[in-house]
Amino acid sequence: MTSLGQWIADLFAPYGLAGWLLAIFILFYIDAILFPTLPELFVVLFYIGGSGEVANWEYIILILVTIALAEVAGLTTLYLIVKRIRVPRRIQSVVQKYKNFLLCRDEKMILVNRVAPVLPFIGAFVALCGWSYRKSILYTVIGGTIKYGLILIASTFFLTYFSSGTAQIVTLSMIAVIIAISFVLSIRRRKKMESENETCPT
């Protein structure tokens, strides 16, 4: 774990299931408003750490609800902040120009961002682009539920049919592959956007 993730885990793990869920909420909230926290990795680590206290399917549902609440809170926080401050026109212009080179130019980009993350600080982006807040929340919840639901289901399968040590290795390897693929797709998409920007007449 990173130092931040380890600190949060150590702080809340003694409180059992509620502690693990609170740790997940905090990390996903930080990921939404400040900086990336490798949520794919931590959701699995915290799932493994808190498993056994309730049935797997119940724990998965609790985690997914916690993730949804954290991401909605993060998006809403940035959205309200940007709506209430006077953003310099230069920044607004840069955001609008950036939006024009996205694969999708509306709220659906939030779904695409789950696979190829090129859209940081989504709440601020929603506010600056004038996207629908309700649709943005909907796509955030749908995208997060699908992505992390599949990750947790796969983790449950590994924990059920492999020994504890093997299951953790296989699960973490899966997460490493997912993160690597997302990173590669993100880099490729950004390079394509930069190329389109260079060829686009000013």
Tell me, yes or no, whether 202 lies in a domain. no
- pLDDT of 91 reads 84
- pLDDT of 190 reads 66
Q: Spell out the SS3 assignment of 54-106.
A: CCHHHHHHHHHHHHHHHHHHHHHHHHHHHHHCCCCHHHHHHHHHHHCCCCCCC
- pLDDT of 42 reads 84
pLDDT by residue, tens only, the chain of 202 residues: 456 666 777 787 788 888 889 989 999 999 999 887 788 888 888 888 777 667 788 999 999 999 999 999 999 999 999 999 888 888 888 888 888 777 788 899 999 888 878 888 899 999 999 999 999 999 999 999 999 999 999 888 887 777 666 766 777 787 778 778 777 776 776 676 566 555 555 4
In whole angstroms, give the CA distance from residue 88 to residue 93.
9
Q: Which domain holds residue 175?
A: 3-197
- pLDDT of 1 reads 45
Tell me, yes or no, whether 146 lies in a domain. yes
Tell me, yes or no, whether 68 lies in a domain. yes
Tell me, yes or no, whether 133 lies in a domain. yes
Q: Total structural domains in the chain?
A: 1
Tell me, yes or no, whether 143 lies in a domain. yes
Tell me, yes or no, whether 91 lies in a domain. yes
In whole angstroms, give the CA distance from residue 36 to residue 119.
12
Tell me, yes or no, whether 75 lies in a domain. yes
Tell me, yes or no, whether 154 lies in a domain. yes
